[in-house]
Amino acid sequence: MKQPPAEAADSRSPRAWMAWSSGKDSLWALHLARRAGHLDIVGLLTSITETYDRVTMHGVRESLLQAQAAALGLPLHRILIPTPCSQQQYEDIMRATLERARSLAVTKVIFGDISLADVRAHRERQMARVDMEALFPLWGMDTGDLARQIIAGGVRATITCLDPTKVPAELAGREFDDDFLTHLPDTADPCGENGEFHTFAWHGPDYPSPIPITVGQTLNREGFLFTDLHPA
Domain total of the chain: 1
Domain interval for residue 181? 15-231
Tally Cβ neighbours within 10 Å of residue 200: 28
The answer as to whether 28 is a domain residue is: yes
pTM of the complete model beyond 0.75: yes
Q: What is the pLDDT of residue 92?
A: 92
CA distances from 33 to 205, 208, 212 (A): 13, 18, 25
Q: What is the pLDDT of residue 120?
A: 97
> Which residues of the chain fall short of a pLDDT of 50?
1-6
The tens digit of pLDDT for each residue in 208-226 reads: 999 999 999 999 999 999 9
CATH code (residue 34): 3.40.50.620
Q: What is the pLDDT of residue 5?
A: 42
The answer as to whether 147 is a domain residue is: yes
Q: What is the pLDDT of residue 69?
A: 97
The answer as to whether 5 is a domain residue is: no
